[in-house]
Chains A and B, each alone.
Chain A
Amino acid sequence: GAGVSQSPSNKVTEKGKDVELRCDPISGHTALYWYRQSLGQGLEFLIYFQGNSAPDKSGLPSDRFSAERTGGSVSTLTIQRTQQEDSAVYLCASSNSGGAYIQYFGAGTRLSVL
């Protein structure tokens, strides 16, 4: 595709429910990143994939958060038993591992936990 695609664009859920957020990176990009951005705040790193493996998952805030990437392409971020403090915009980015490092961001998924 032309850019990084994220779905859904908005998600409203009830406290305690599980949610899945999807990211489709730019074709051919082997590196994929998830960030969380609370209202008016910075980019909180969650996890970084190189291919299907995650060499750095140090940013996942709790064991309720998990992510996977299959086929070196699409990634899913899962939040179990959502809490109100999970409400934020979840941004995905991808980059070419050929040393360019430039990250291209998706439009994000706005998650609201009621």
Chain B
Amino acid sequence: GENVEQHPSTLSVQEGDSAVIKCTYSDSASNYFPWYKQELGKRPQLIIDIRSNVGEKKDQRIAVTLNKTAKHFSLHITETQPEDSAVYFCAASIGGNNDMRFGAGTRLTVKP
């Protein structure tokens, strides 16, 4: 079955620096790759997603890149702010349908 690996498990950066989180997946049929942010005590919420027909997508300070050949995708956050502190989850669709698997999460801490 699909296996989604996420690194690092924890990441601490200084305010204003960039943060990068990387994920790999195993199912070559995966075609949808979302990223979710979960603040402490809250539900996960989608922050950005990318489909397999594009290599990069950007939304203000966040961007996601996808390398289908290598089966990896990354989340980039620039000019980090303390409110970016949360757990971030990557995910990959399975078999081209709605089934999905999540990575184990990255706890990002942005120090003021």
Given contacts A43-B44, A43-B89, A108-B43, contact A103 B100 (CB under 8 A): yes
Whether A31 contacts B98 by the Cβ 8 Å rule is yes
A-B contact count (CB 8 A): 51
Q: A43-B105, A103-B34 are in contact. Are A50 and B98 (CB under 8 A)?
A: yes
Nearest CB on A from B62, distance (A): 16
Q: Which residues of B contact A102 (CB under 8 A)?
A: 34, 46, 49
Size class of the A contact interface (CB-based, 8 Å): 20 to 34
* Cα A33 to Cα B94 with chains together (Å): 14
| A101 and B43 form a contact (CB under 8 A) | no
CA distance A104 to B98 in the complex (A): 13
B: interface residue count bin: 20 to 34
- Interface residue A34 (Cβ < 8 Å from any Cβ of B): no
Q: Which residues of A contact B112 (CB under 8 A)?
A: none
By a CB distance below 8 angstroms, the chain A residues around B89 are: 42-43
Give B contacts to A, CB under 8 Å.
1, 32, 34, 42-46, 49, 89, 93-94, 97-105
